[in-house]
Amino acid sequence: MHETKCDVLIVGAGPAGCSAAFFSKLLDKNNSHEIILLERLDNDHYDRYHTMCGEGVSGELFQDIAPIKPSCIIEKIDKIREYWPEKVELEMTMNGYIIDRPTFLNGIIDRFVRLGGKFIQEPLQDFIQRDDEIKVKMTTGESITTRYLIAADGPNSFIRKKLGIAGRVKTLVQYVVEKEPEHNTLIFEYDECWDGDYKWIFPHGATTKVGFPFRTHRVREPFEGTILTKQARKVAFGGLQNTVNGNILLVGDAACQSNPLTKGGIRPGMVAGRMAAEALLTDNPRAYAERWKRSVFASPLFLHAFDRLKGMNNKELARHMAPFRKGVNAFSNIKAILLYPEYFNLYKAYELSNKVGW
Ligand SMILES: Cc1cc2nc3c(=O)[nH]c(=O)nc-3n(C[C@H](O)[C@H](O)[C@H](O)COP(=O)(O)OP(=O)(O)OC[C@H]3O[C@@H](n4cnc5c(N)ncnc54)[C@H](O)[C@@H]3O)c2cc1C
């Protein structure tokens, strides 16, 4: 049986793991650390898994992950439109993109390898944490011994579960529909039937992506156009009490870091991946946990807002958005707070999610 040793092992090459791997190597100026990125899926399955996404990101993501620049752009996004019950309609500007996510992530993996990192496509099967090292077993029977483990293995994280940490996970369903989309626009439809979430309609080249939370009872096909593909995948949100356990650092959906309100998880995952890499540069995993907890991405306002929305019926959904009927601006914000002080924390969460929700 072959045994490999490394300084940092990153498990999972999604947005969070790719970011952690790339920054671990970028910051390793003398190329003196052995960094391995492990991914369970082969190329075809990897691409399929990572297209199960709206693939929407904000321009601000690229400030957080510089020097990674916007690339693999399918469409530029310049506005968001929201439909609330009782014909309340809102439109806001957005500086964002729809990206070809698998190609974008593959590009980061290539850069990681060119910087001296090692990419292995095999599944982690098990691990044991003892003293100052972690021994990881792969399904091939081979093993890797590492000083630090970054768990970026997604919403169903085996590593999180084995550590006995519970997380909030939800299944989202998405249809790729043969229908010319409304270009440059992200559309959200709110209704009590989505239990605090929403239905989204995102442009994707000549096709439209329509998604919503999975429901146990059948939902009437909520769109026009021929269905090309039906997809379902989980998202993990709501955060963890602790994102570090010994020398194991959890990032992205493994740490339930998707935004509870928007369910956007690419940006928080990539920011967390970078933070984890920076903390390990100074041999201080706890610095990552502290920094994440203090960051705006982990604000408790988001989960509070989601839980509040979950309890609202259509009448209340429409009522609390009524002050914004004529547009979202400083005047409507003040009007909302004065008319409906009971929703103050919700309005604060909306304001914050406009800045860091995607
Ligand atoms: C339908 C849908 C639409 C979405 N749309 C958007 C959107 O438009 N914008 C946005 O910002 N967010 C969106 N999200 C959320 C976003 O996709 C996730 O938050 C994000 O993918 C989390 O990234 P991650 O790297 O933490 O995990 P993942 O992307 O899940 O990646 C985890 C990786 O780990 C690998 N892995 C798992 N187990 C092992 C193992 N044992 N060994 C080795 N490798 C392993 C997996 O194969 C995978 O490649 C959407 C989610 C869903 C479900």
User: pLDDT tens across 52-63, in order?
Assistant: 999 999 999 999
3-state secondary structure string, 142-203?
CEEEEEEEEECCCCCCHHHHHCCCCCEEEEEEEEEEECCCCCCEEEEEECHHHCCCEEEEEE
pLDDT confidence of 344, banded at 50, 70, 90? very high
Q: Which ligand 1 atom is nearest residue 98's CA?
A: 8
> In angstroms, rounded to a whole number, what is the distance separating the alpha carbons of residues 356 and 232?
25
Q: Whole-model pTM?
A: 0.97
Same structural domain, 132 and 274: yes
Cα of 255 vs centre of ligand 1, distance in Å, is 12
- What is residue 25's predicted lDDT score, i.e. its pLDDT? 98
Residue to substitute in 60, 266, 274 for testing ligand 1 pocket (most ligand atoms within 8 angstroms of CB) = 266
Residue where a domain terminates, one of 258, 282, 301: 301
Show the domain range for 234.
Answer: 3-301
- What is residue 326's predicted lDDT score, i.e. its pLDDT? 81
> In angstroms, rounded to a whole number, what is the distance separating the alpha carbons of residues 173 and 191?
16
Same structural domain, 215 and 339: no
Higher pLDDT, 258 or 327: 258
Could you tell me what percent of the chain has a pLDDT over 70? 97
- What is residue 215's predicted lDDT score, i.e. its pLDDT? 79
Q: Which residues line ligand 1 (CB under 6 A)?
A: 11-17, 38-41, 49, 52-57, 123-124, 152-155, 158, 172, 174, 211, 233, 235, 252-254, 258, 263-267, 269, 358
Same structural domain, 202 and 75: yes
Cα of 50 vs centre of ligand 1, distance in Å, is 7
Same structural domain, 347 and 209: no
Cα of 233 vs centre of ligand 1, distance in Å, is 8
Same structural domain, 335 and 238: no
> In angstroms, rounded to a whole number, what is the distance separating the alpha carbons of residues 125 and 91?
47
Same structural domain, 58 and 76: yes
Same structural domain, 287 and 319: no
Same structural domain, 263 and 325: no
Cα of 235 vs centre of ligand 1, distance in Å, is 7
Same structural domain, 231 and 322: no
Q: What is the pLDDT of residues 179-238, one digit of tens each?
A: 999 999 999 999 999 999 999 999 999 999 999 998 766 665 666 789 999 999 999 999
Same structural domain, 136 and 276: yes
Domain count, the chain: 2
Tell me if residue 80 falls in helix, strand or coil.
strand
Chain position carrying tokens 């903390």: 279
Same structural domain, 15 and 151: yes
CATH at 98: 3.50.50.60
Same structural domain, 198 and 293: yes
> In angstroms, rounded to a whole number, what is the distance separating the alpha carbons of residues 302 and 15?
21
